[in-house]
Structure 1
Amino acid sequence: MGAGIGVGVIILAVLLIAVLVVLVKSVVLVPQATAAVIERLGRYTKTVSGQLTLLVPFVDRVRARVDLREQVVSFPPQPVITQDNLTVNIDTVVYFQVTRPEAAVYEINNYVVGVEQLTTTTLRNVVGGMTLEETLTSRERINSQLRGVLDEATSRWGLRVARVELKSIFPPPSIQESMEKQMKADREKRATILAAEGHRESAIKSAEGDKASRILLAQGEREAAILRAQAERQAEILRAEGRRAAAYLEAQGEAKAIATRFGAIKSGKPTPELLAYQYLQTLPEMARGEANKVWVVPSDFSGALQGFMRSLGTPGSDGVFRYEPSADDGDSDRGQDIDTSGWFDMPAPVAPVVVKDEPDEPPTRSTLPPLPLGPTASSPAAPSASGAHQADPRPLQSSRRLPTQGPYPQR
């Protein structure tokens, strides 16, 4: 009895295990972004993705699971010979995605290895027609050519190549050293050019500053020269006015002194003896000059004096001729006082020169005020032959104007 129960339990356990195995074999859970290729009796049946799938136990099976996400595969450096016979090592990165899992399983044994080998051969074909410099500067063109060839070749494998990039390009060490020297020379060349341009700009700026300073200095010197010339002219005008006034005053004073002297002589009723005495006192002064070597005294001097006194004088009671003043001799001093109130008035200052920036136009200046230059019809009259001096009480004026044409004052 006990043996029969033990056999029954074993059979039950075997059945349970068989049921569990059948359940496991008949139910397959395929996660999202993953595709499962299912075969029935060794033949492709269907492809499922992201769902729970029931299989016929011992009839259906999952051949392969394929990742449907975009994959990034980096390949090791591959030696490539350029058109100028230089060997460079190029790293590539390929971005691709499986679009048809059944083709990726049945059309190629290992699609990753296939993509790698196809990338290497295509890269050698593309770079083999370029020089090293073109290879280094034409990465975008190489990428587009590689992508086009790979996408066309892998389409039958159920793959879509999204992008191909050259990760790095390693030239030979000797070429790298030459390139570094060339780059260094180019940098030094650019630095030298920039330094030369800076020096040129500095020289231009310095020359422009020097030019501007020289122009300003020349303008300042010109204005200073104009102002000095104006000051000189004004000083000359004032000196001439002073000399004219002094000469006129001196002449007026001398005329008045002579008139006063003659009036005193007339009022003193001189005799011929007095005139002879005065003449004898004057003779030494006349002979004192260095050019006078011989002086002759006229022998008929007394006779000449007597004739002069007879013509001008009146004989007195003692028979001596004396000068008798006339009735209007007492008025000989009238009119000698001259009004000189306006002689020493300062003339109006000369208008300043307006200097313009344009060098072609002469500087402009306003018209100068009238300057008195000498006696005119309104000036005091000259002494008459009779000795009477008539003076005009009005101040001495002049109606003349100095010419003001031209950029500089005329003297």
Structure 2
Amino acid sequence: MKTRFVTLFWFLYQFLLIQGNPDETRLVKKLLTNYNKLVRPSAEPNQTIDIFLTFKHFEFINVDEKKNMLTSKVWIELNWNDFYLRWNPEDFGGIQNLTLPSPLLWQPDLYMMNSMDAMPNVGDDVFAIIDSTGKVFMIKPGTYNSNCQINVWKWPYDFQNCSMEFMPWAMMKEQIRIVEIEELNNKNIDSFSSSNEEWSVEAAYQYWIHKNFEPYGVYTSVALTVEMKRSSNFYVANLIFPFIIISSLVISGFLLPPDNGEKVTLGVSVLLGITFFSHTLVDSLPVSQTMPLVGIYCSIVMVMILVCILCNVIIVHINTWKPSKGNAWHLKLIRLLLCSKSQRVPSSVNVDKRNTNIGIPELKDFDVVSWKEVAACLNSVCFFGFSSTFILVTAIFFIVLVA
């Protein structure tokens, strides 16, 4: 289909030339008669053709984070010297430049090495501008799908660096050579933009790479690296903040009295809600060997919620215990650590059965531990402890994330 289109376009072009400038008509016939686009246009068989490749414009379209694929539009400027496309302007009415369809001319076989497609050639078919010295100039726009490894460590405040590398594929270095342009090395290209609301392009610069392919020697390629910044407002407002708010609700369970069984129900409900948000976060993140910081934070918070539920279960259970009396060391330790109030109760309420015939009560007193007070004290300690831990973990998370 493409061959038919080029052939039809060529006949149309020839018809317009016949109706147009006769000097241009003669020039086109002279240049393309016996011209073979399959043959390298060099003056000598062993002469290397120098290819000048630069990037003029980059437009970000989309990035598929699941596939690690960057889709973009790139304008590539190419120029080289074609020995068979030279003429004397005086012989053709002073014509200095000529425009021809690029499919009619020899072109270097440049490919994108990290393409996600089936090795597409550089750019689309365009018109080429040729001057009388044989210099061929063209700007080839193209849409490319390139591999881009996404680093999700600081998602959604992440920066991504994606590169596209172009180099000859079939021809040897003795046949064509990409020339390095020192003044453009590691410099931003002329223009770059983004048509995607989630990402903004911060920089786009080109540089030349020299690779040694044994035993063929050193080859030169051209790479375009793009620095992109994600807009985090959407994810922070719709995922992270709701996650933090729902997670903090589990701490409010310690504000309920110890005899309220809804403390455990509240914790389980919060855990179910956090599990839902975790699945939503997983769907938003690409598969990566690096665990994102937000994933670590979610894991820590879920562990804290689980511990809170266990603490509430223990508090509710302790609240059901009957008061204990005695002077054992573990009862004294509980009173000391939990600041539980103890009561001195005379032992006369518990008369020794062996002395019932005498009727004299024991004079020894006992300390009574009220487990309801222990549960209430544990409730307060857990509230302040988990509140402080949650605030500290969340503050550290945002400091590291935004830094």
TM-score (norm 2): 0.20
- Structure of greater Rg: 1
TM-score (norm 1): 0.20
Structure ranking higher on relative contact order (CA contacts 8 Å, 6+ apart): 2
Higher strand share: 2
Higher helix share: 1
